[in-house]
A and B are shown apart, each in its own frame.
Chain A
């Protein structure tokens, strides 16, 4: 498939030989029945008796252009990303991917019954292991947890923490309360114990407005506003001292956009200088904590009509370690593969984004 991409720079060509690391690829559950072999009897019966057809979330409504890259739809009506062969052809081979990290978005975080949610998360993880990790050595996966009950989520991390195929714990950005709150700390404690970063992905709980001022009318607003939710989660994680308590913990923001980061850091630092007494455990600039502990994947690229603006924004972040390559397959953000990266990146930085930064966050 080498000829499938127009290689973008010398550097990329080199990287394409040794392999890039794609930090955001979505494997989809083809149908709820696919999970039955991995679901405990009690809950399988529950799903069948209740006539539950699917927990596929509506983060990417079917038929919306963003939701499926051309060619990723499947003839059998199963969701894009649910077929390993297609995913190999479209996401792994063209990029010469060394590793791709699967972030399975299934609506377990939307379930209000904590026990059922935890059971579904276990089933999804066992299904991921059997159907994806064991069949394709280039794949790694995130542990899906039901954050509704952090104690149970931590148990799931303990169950899979030693498994080499799982490299991250997945949370969704829309939560019932800010992620810095002590309520969630059992998850972080367990993740740190196994050297697993926390991935936070767009999407999340139902019943809580997705905009900072209530419910939007349109999907466009909903999607654009995800980046505000990410900002508030960072502010919470830093302010509550999560990284003080768990100094080895890393958090990867996935599908968050990153161009908003400089403005947030500037405001956060300025406020901290006057208000630090409220959070004495934050005893250095918030931006320093962010640079040390937070990573962000690059898709979707919020691109300015002037390409130099994107490079200036990256310069304003003042760190070369934070950005991680991602395609967000099968979601559609770019027409040509080379558009997955910002144009004219300095070669050294491009190399770091394509693989080095990911290698320093994930335990491959």
Chain B
């Protein structure tokens, strides 16, 4: 075990296994909690009864059935129970928290921004500033892409907070995120050294484009195709030259799958060769931007029958430098830290489970 973990273990009396979980979803105890941080006119417009996305609801259960809190509360709504069921159970050093406000689906940009802000206030109060003595919870600043200037102001409001480590947007969107209209968000991220993370869930919902041709019929189709929007945003980021314009910016693709990355980059590299005059600001082969700027979280890790195929894929995508472990707790497709990966060389495992995220988020 590395030295840091030994130290931590001594301080906290808990065993840490060198794991950073890059996708954990805290949930408010009730939507009234969120409402309490809002002011009018949005406060009374926010529907505190339901937080539903409206369509493509999971046909089984959206949360692990065993994640309901001991007092019957919403899964992952109690920092203490999550600490016990997730962090201590697996010896997780840090959990990166991504609340799901699903704000990109709203037509009114001010309303979306108000909900995002309220989620940030709640996350800071209930998970980061309090109930976080061991500092293992790290948060994401939720922003609404509808008004990028307002999003940048929301980033300013939290920048410098010791436990907010990145900015997050829903990947369901009306336009590819590399486009210039969104650049104020990335400018603020870069200025404060915060990675920008995209997380799926609002695809084809509310004002957002569907991620497939038309609208799929079932949740299974909708969910299976979620990586497509991650792929599109990544293509857009590279093609629009976002990393040339913001050379210190980091992009995190959360829960969008990962095994597709090599194939997409081969395609992008191949087509960039004849077409690069169209995008002269893309100065090097598209795949060369990845190691420096892009990270992918692992869950739900693709699971081929033959685990060797996954290891091949790790090699192709340079998982050693870009893949970051995540569980997606408390959701139904949770990846167990001990059971979801095939046997790997120790150093590769350490990079994926710990080092890559530690370096990205400047954790110790």
Q: Are A and B subunits of one complex?
A: yes
Measured CA separation A276–B224 after assembly (Å): 12
Measured CA separation A303–B273 after assembly (Å): 12
Task: Give chain B residues whose Cβ lies under 8 Å from the Cβ of A219.
Answer: 275, 278
Measured CA separation A263–B316 after assembly (Å): 12
Task: Give chain B residues whose Cβ lies under 8 Å from the Cβ of A218.
Answer: 239, 275, 278-279
B42 within 8 A of A: no
Number of interface residues of A (CB under 8 A): 73
The number of inter-chain residue pairs (CB within 8 angstroms) is: 240
Candidates B59, B270, B271, B274; contact of A278 at CB < 8 Å: B59
Interface of B toward A, CB cutoff 8 Å: 58-60, 171-179, 203, 208-221, 223-225, 227-229, 231-233, 235-236, 239-240, 257, 259-260, 262-264, 266-272, 274-276, 278-279, 300, 302-304, 309-310, 312-313, 316, 332-333
Quote the shortest CB–CB distance from A265 to chain B (angstroms).
8
Measured CA separation A219–B272 after assembly (Å): 10
Instruction: Let me know if B211 and A240 touch, CB within 8 A.
Output: no
Instruction: Let me know if B209 and A301 touch, CB within 8 A.
Output: no
Instruction: Let me know if B59 and A277 touch, CB within 8 A.
Output: yes
Instruction: Let me know if B304 and A180 touch, CB within 8 A.
Output: no
Query: Given that A225-B232, A239-B218, A262-B309 are contacting pairs, would A214 and B266 also be in contact in the complex, using a CB cutoff of 8 Å?
Result: no
Task: Give chain A residues whose Cβ lies under 8 Å from the Cβ of B229.
Answer: 212-213
Instruction: Let me know if B233 and A178 touch, CB within 8 A.
Output: no
Measured CA separation A303–B262 after assembly (Å): 10
Instruction: Let me know if A212 and B212 touch, CB within 8 A.
Output: yes
Query: Given that A212-B211, A219-B275, A220-B275 are contacting pairs, would A270 and B300 also be in contact in the complex, using a CB cutoff of 8 Å?
Result: yes
Chain A to chain B contacts (Cβ below 8 Å), 26 pairs: A178-B214, A178-B217, A179-B213, A211-B232, A212-B203, A212-B212, A212-B228, A213-B174, A213-B208, A214-B209, A216-B232, A216-B239, A217-B178, A217-B236, A220-B276, A225-B232, A232-B211, A236-B221, A259-B267, A263-B260, A263-B302, A271-B224, A275-B218, A278-B220, A302-B267, A309-B316
Quote the shortest CB–CB distance from A97 to chain B (angstroms).
24
Measured CA separation A137–B122 after assembly (Å): 72
Contact string against B for A residues 211-245, beta-carbon threshold 8 Å, 1 for contact and 0 otherwise: 11111111111011101110111011001100000
Quote the shortest CB–CB distance from B210 to chain A (angstroms).
8
Instruction: Let me know if B171 and A312 touch, CB within 8 A.
Output: no
Task: Give chain B residues whose Cβ lies under 8 Å from the Cβ of A223.
Answer: 271, 275
Measured CA separation A218–B180 after assembly (Å): 13
Quote the shortest CB–CB distance from B14 to chain A (angstroms).
32
Measured CA separation A211–B174 after assembly (Å): 10
- At the interface with chain B, which of A11-19, A80-88, A158-166, A168-176? A168-176
